[in-house]
Amino acid sequence: MDNDKQALATNELTTIPLDHNWYQKLASNFEIIQPYLDKLDTDELGLNDLKDKFDDLSDKINVYETNMQAIVNILSDYDVPIAIVDGKVVNTTEEGE
């Protein structure tokens, strides 16, 4: 794909009659657009890699949350005054006790 930016013929395509010049401008538009479509078709954008990374991160977050809940449950069994509130471990004793 060229690094040179090519402009699409847009307003010029509405002229009548639909002569050979119109056809050439339309064909030129498709020549400019085609490399971008090819790039999308071959997944050069790395969308699959991005999805895999997101899924991996989601799995790690789930493991972290599960482990944190297990720790809080164990400490609660030993009367440690903590709980998970809004995703954070907090002390459940009120001030002044």
Question: Is it true that the peptide bond before 17 is cis, omega within 30 degrees of 0?
Answer: yes
- Confidence (pTM): 0.44
Amino acid at 15: T
In a domain, 96, yes or no: no
User: In this structure, what token pair is assigned to residue 24?
Assistant: 């050439």
- Is the pLDDT at 13 greater than 60? The verdict is no
- Is the pLDDT at 96 greater than 60? The verdict is no
At 45, the pLDDT band (50, 70, 90 cuts) reads low
Tell me, what's the pLDDT at 8?
Answer: 67
Q: How far is CA 56 from CA 2, 19, 50, 59, 64, in A?
A: 35, 55, 10, 5, 12
In a domain, 32, yes or no: no
Strand partners, 90: 83
Structural domain count, the chain: 1
In a domain, 29, yes or no: no
Structural domain boundaries, residue 57: 47-91
- Is the pLDDT at 77 greater than 70? The verdict is yes
